[in-house]
Amino acid sequence: METGINWAEDWVEVFFLLFLIFGFITSILLFNPWLSYLSIVLAGFVAGRVFYIKRYKEPIFPLVLIIVGFLLGYILGGFWISRFWALLFFAFSWWLSFYLHRKKIFTIFKSEGFVK
């Protein structure tokens, strides 16, 4: 009987747990509610950008599970913030980032010669 992790099949679950723990620890370490809300808005912007980049190139469900893992960990550890407002700020910043990328206001730096 093999007890190791089969990375080809279980990588999503492992990253879900890692991001859940990361979100929980991040939320606990931020005592100031304003910093907590700022970090959740920044996380929403990053999630919207990653979602925009990966939406047609790869299966999107594993990415959404990893993002939900971070958000769930952050909300579970958010003792000093309102969970409703954290969810609302995350969802709005995710949508805003996705919208700004779709309208080409924010761009993706994948042009020739940008990174050598």
25 located within any domain: yes
109 located within any domain: no
Q: What pLDDT was estimated at residue 20?
A: 95
Higher-confidence residue of 3 and 33: namely 33
The mean of the pLDDT values for the chain is 87
pLDDT band for 116, please (50, 70, 90 cuts).
Answer: very low
Q: What is the pTM of this model?
A: 0.83
83 located within any domain: yes
Counting the structural domains of the chain, the total is 1
Full residue range of the structural domain in which residue 90 is found: 8-102
Please give the Cα distance from 77 to 55 (Å, whole number).
29
Q: What pLDDT was estimated at residue 97?
A: 95
| Average pLDDT estimate for 70-89 | 93
